[in-house]
Amino acid sequence: MIAPVKTAIVGCGVISDAYLSTMRKRFKILDVVGCCDINPHRAQERARAHGIRALTMDDIRADDTLELVVNLTTPTAHYPVTRQLLDNVDSVYLLNIQMAPSFLFNRTVYIPPGHVPDINKLETLYRPYHKK
């Protein structure tokens, strides 16, 4: 049995509620531990609603046990946020296809908007990049 992937979300806008609910209920491979937003109050509200921790970017970057971050930020924030995260996290999932090509060689996988990946595909996409 594969151990759950310790995961966090960056960007706690409207869509984050759907992502958090789906990730926590449907994907047992994911251990969603926290969320982060530029607005700390928004992160705290989402964290409370989903029983996880409100995090800062510094918390995420300092946590060497985090393996995956789902980037739900606005398109203009995708690049700088992902650049920061890839220095410390194994994989970052993006919503914006325009940003994906520049990160493909840096362990990033793109998930199109509205698409919930099959858990087997998620494992297949993620696991080759898992640090042993």
Domains in the chain with CATH codes? 5-129 (3.40.50.720)
> Measured in whole angstroms, how far is the alpha carbon of residue 68 from the centre of its chain?
5
* Structure confidence at residue 54 (pLDDT): 98
| Beta strands 108-110; 53-55: pairing state | unpaired
Worst-scoring range by mean pLDDT, 37-51, 64-78, 98-112?
98-112
Mean pLDDT of 82-111: 62
Q: Is the pLDDT of residue 39 over 50?
A: yes
* Structure confidence at residue 121 (pLDDT): 47
* Structure confidence at residue 130 (pLDDT): 40
* Structure confidence at residue 119 (pLDDT): 42
> What gap in Å lies between CA 98 and CA 128, rounded to an integer?
23
Long-range contacts of 33-40 (CB under 8 A, 24+ apart): 33/6, 33/7, 33/8, 33/66, 34/8, 34/9, 34/59, 34/60, 35/8, 35/9, 35/10, 36/8, 36/9, 36/10, 36/11, 36/12, 36/60, 37/10, 37/11, 37/12, 37/13, 38/77, 39/12
Averaged confidence pLDDT in the chain: 77
Token match 């966090």: residue? 8
Residue 23: closest CA among 37, 1, 3, 8: 8
* Structure confidence at residue 79 (pLDDT): 76
> What gap in Å lies between CA 55 and CA 124, rounded to an integer?
28
pTM: 0.74
Give 81's pLDDT tier (boundaries 50, 70, 90): confident
Give 96's pLDDT tier (boundaries 50, 70, 90): low
Worst-scoring range by mean pLDDT, 35-44, 46-55, 65-74?
65-74
